[in-house]
Amino acid sequence: MSLSAFIELVNKKGKDRVPFFFVVDFELQKPKVWDVDSLIDENILFNFEGFSNHQKKEAISVHAEKVYPAFETYQRAFDQVFQHLQVGNSFLVNLTAKTELITSASPSDIYHASSAKYKILYKDEWVVFSPETFVRISGSIIETCPMKGTIDAGLPGAATKLLNDPKELAEHVTVVDLLRNDLSRVSHDVQVEKFRYIEELRTNSKHLLQTSSKITGRLPVGYEANMGEIIMELLPAGSVSGAPKPMTCQVIREAEGEKRGYYTGVAGYFDGVSLNSCVLIRYIEKTGDQLFYRSGGGITAQSQVQQEYQELIDKVYVPTTGVYQNS
């Protein structure tokens, strides 16, 4: 589906108050939209903050070995990004890499074994269990809640270290400013309602702390008929790209060496009244017979390569209780 066809269809469904589900890839080349009733036939399952299009299935035990990218490989990509930061081509770049998962589990097994704010199983191609809201729209209020800054909660004084880390603060401020500007393009009365609060993410192997902020704006009357333009105007998501967006996306493509596809894209559900959507992170994709977990973090001029590599590793998890582990 072309971008123009996607926008036209979403606008029509929004205007007519017809429920729909959509996904958009990071490169904005493969947007798709479905009537909610057709998702099961397409083998697409979702659960957004407790609302699901399917019955709960009993989870099986899932075991996997994680094969992280070599540090030297990551460092080469980091160095490429850092050069662009030093000459001012970007202020913040979200750099990601792949971790291979050696497991007999399928994306469907992992979907049913995981728990998260947002879960999606897309055919047998990828599964996501995302903690991050892209945008919510309720009434005339649009809100976004970027997550930037992660630390292992088991470290002494973890919350204080995270909040006082100058690099993490700079990264968070940059993303909040970027998304505040993004919302200003589609809404008015934009404000940062909550700045840099701590959220907890518990997994079977890690207890993580992340910092988030809440930014809101007010949409014009009749925005539903322009919902397609609103979604596209905000993409790609600033928390998983960087700033400024156009040049930073070029830096990402150069450093990562391949398209991301639906990883770090967005997905959303419109129920006829309200929209809820997420950023496609905490993402596992199937390539041939192999599964790859994609993760990363924001790089700034204050970043240290070893710390950024560790953050990439810390984010490789499935949020379950005792059913996903290194073998």
pLDDT tens, residue by residue, 10-25? 999 999 999 999 999 9
Question: CA-CA distance, 47 to 58, in Å (whole number)?
Answer: 15
Q: Is the pLDDT of residue 203 over 70?
A: no
DSSP class of 54: S
- Bond preceding residue 220 cis, omega within 30 of 0: no
Question: CA-CA distance, 178 to 156, in Å (whole number)?
Answer: 32
Q: Which H or E element spans position 126?
A: strand 126-130
Specify the pairing of strand 283-287 against strand 290-299. Answer: antiparallel
The DSSP-derived string for 18-50 is --EEEEE-TTSS--EEEEGGGTTTTTEEEEETT
Type of residue numbered 184: S
Specify the pairing of strand 62-67 against strand 324-326. Answer: parallel
pLDDT digits (tens, 9 = 90+) for 108-167: 999 998 889 999 999 999 999 999 999 999 999 999 998 887 788 888 888 898 898 888
Could you tell me which of 69, 3, 66, 157 has the C-alpha nearest to residue 165? 157
How many percent of the chain have pLDDT more than 90? 76
* 184 φ/ψ angles, rounded to the nearest 5 degrees: -65, -20
Q: Is the pLDDT of residue 319 over 80?
A: no
Question: What is the token pair recorded at 122?
Answer: 């897309």
* 142 φ/ψ angles, rounded to the nearest 5 degrees: -110, 135
pLDDT digits (tens, 9 = 90+) for 276-310: 999 999 999 999 999 999 999 999 999 999 999 99
Q: Is the pLDDT of residue 207 over 90?
A: no
pLDDT at 257: 95
DSSP class of 234: T
Q: Are 146 and 211 in contact (CB under 8 A)?
A: no
